[in-house]
Every structure is written in structure tokens, then in C-alpha cells.
Structure 1
Amino acid sequence: MPIAQINVARFRVAKDDPANADFMAALDHVNAMAEASDGFVWRLVGDGGNATDIAAIPDDPDFIVNMSVWRDVPSLEAFAYRQADHRAVLARRKDWFNPMEPSMALWPVAEGHEPSVSEGMAMLAKLGAEGPGDGVFTFRWWRENRTAKA
């Protein structure tokens, strides 16, 4: 079953501040790497070719959202944690973003479904309120439960 993911962040300083230049410069390349990855299905794209211009929270321009759909959790996990260029950006997230919990959620979606930002934000809120389960979860929960069921 396909899996959707949302990850969100709030910049430490204004989005267009020079302190964020390395992050912004890496987006096109990292998004291209995602699209070329085995198991990639879809990603949220705004007017600028990435999702940083999509207002997930009205009047909060420094809050950004990233959403995508993948064939399955292993294909998303391979990109997120083993693709070198994505890992390099991920390793620097504390340079650019304030800590948030939860900042990422995964959930199963029907074949062909492209989730909306409001759906993704609702899943993130559900994860925060109820914790992980079959309907919305984290990589850690998925690994622990996949292993327990095997």
C-alpha cells in the first residue's frame, strides 16, 4: 500500500534570511533525487517548484511543509536516510529550523491518492494527540511493529 509522508519545520530566522541560503539552494537537487528514487510516486509542489511557498499555517511564512507519496515505507526510508544528498541536508536541520514535535508523520493512502496539506496537517495533529498506530505513525513505530509482527 502506498505511504504518504508530511514533514514540517519552522525556520529559526526569516525564510529569506541569508542564513538559510544553503537549505534553499539544495531544494531543487534534493527534490530531483527524490523524484528519481525507486518507489517515489508524488510530491507536493508550489509555484516555485518546491513547497516552501505553500502556506500550511496562515500568517506564518517561516513554517514550511513537505509532503510526498511513496510505494511503501522501505522506499521512503531508503531515500530519507540513505540518499547522500538528502542525508547531508537532514544532518544540518538544526542549523535552519527550530525543534518541533512531532515534525513528521507517515500514513497509508489509497493508490493514486495525492493528500492535501490540510490532510497532512490533520495526520500530524493526530500523531501528536494520540501517538503512533496503524493509521498514522513514525519510521520508528513502523520498524518496531514490522519486526514484532514478523
Structure 2
Amino acid sequence: MQQPDGHHLAELNVGRLLAPTDDPRVAEFMGALDRINGLGKRMPGFVWMMVGSGEPGTGNTEAKIGGDPQFVSNLTVWEDVTSLETFVWKTVHKQFYDRRAEWFEVLGEMHFVMWWVPAGHRPTLDEALERLDLLRSAGASERAFDWAWLEEATAWRDRQCRVAAE
């Protein structure tokens, strides 16, 4: 699928922490949020990130999904697939991705979705969760997709990313 003219790529990644955000079992992850998010914001092609209160070390962990304080989300917008792919798979972010089992539960269902948004649009968490539900219920389409849907995305294949929930 080609990127539509005048559009950017939005992505939502959802996870459920193994423990509350102030628990020592997730302290290393929580302690790295500002560094990793800051790196993302400085990457070429970065457009926007949903942010929380701005309290150091919290990222966007205040945005609860379904009222569950251990569900955390990352919602960003990128100029294109290559920009997001570079950040996810070719920076220190990849080291944290590889260690996700240390901090996150296995959800048993798709927890990542991408979709095109008009340039300048800032998706809400509700909008993003609707896209995730669409991907879960109907599979990949032009309205909600994963890495496999994008022909130009190759780094996830090279780095053994599984499309299905882990």
C-alpha cells in the first residue's frame, strides 16, 4: 500500500505492564521512557506524540485504557513508514523492544496498529483504539494495518518481528 499524498502515518502500540508503574519490576522500563521518547521526538520524520502530564519518568502512562492503570499506550505520527521503521528497529528503541517480555504481559491479541492520517491531524486515543479494534476484528485493510501490510516496510522482517500478538 502506498502512502496517500498529503498524509502521515499514525501508530498505536498498547501494552499491559506486569506491575504498577511504581513497582521495582518495571522500574528500568519506566526510567528509560523519557530517554526513548526524547530520542523519538528528535528523529527525522517525527511529527507528533501523545504526551501525558509531563512528569519525568511517566511518559504517557497516565492515559488509562479501560480504567486499568497497568495498560499503557504509545500514540505517534510520522511523516512516513521509513521514519517510523528507522526509529523502531534501528535505534536503542530496539533494545527495549527485545526486552519487552521483562516488563509486559503477553496480551494474546494484536496490540499494534497503523493508519494514514491527513497531515496536521493529531489522533486521539479513542480514535486509535477504534483502529486497533478494526484491525483485530476485520484484519488488515487501508483503514487499519500492521507492518506486513506495507510493502516498503522491511526492517520488521529482518529483525524477526512477529505480526501476531506475542
Give 5+ residue unaligned stretches, structure 1: none
Alignment check: 8 A CA contact 2:16 2:72 kept? yes
What is the alpha-carbon root mean square deviation over aligned residues?
1.6
Alignment check: 8 A CA contact 2:85 2:153 kept? no
- Aligned pair count reads 144
TM-score, normalised on structure 1? 0.91
Structure 2 partner of 1:52: 61
Cα deviation digits, residues 84-138 of structure 1 (max 9, x gap): x201111110111111221100000011000000001111111000111111100
| Among 105, 113, 116, the residue aligned to 1:98 | 105
Asked whether 1:82 is paired with 2:90, we answer: yes
Alignment check: 8 A CA contact 2:81 2:152 kept? no
Q: What is the distance in 1 between the residues matched to 2:117 and 2:102?
A: 32
| Among 119, 126, 145, the residue aligned to 2:134 | 126
Structure 2 partner of 1:114: 122
Alignment check: 8 A CA contact 1:132 1:141 kept? yes
Q: 1:57, CA displacement in angstroms?
A: 1.9
Q: What is the distance in 2 between the residues matched to 1:144 and 1:130?
A: 22
Structure 2 partner of 1:27: 33
SS of equivalent to 1:123: helix
Question: CA 1:41–1:144 in structure 2 vs 1: closer, same or farther (change >3 Å)?
Answer: closer
Partner letter of residue 19 of structure 1? R
Asked whether 1:64 is paired with 2:72, we answer: yes
Alignment check: 8 A CA contact 1:77 1:139 kept? no
More helix by share: 1
Alignment check: 8 A CA contact 1:40 1:75 kept? yes
Structure 1 partner of 2:3: none
| Among 38, 43, 47, the residue aligned to 2:44 | 38
Partner letter of residue 123 of structure 2? P
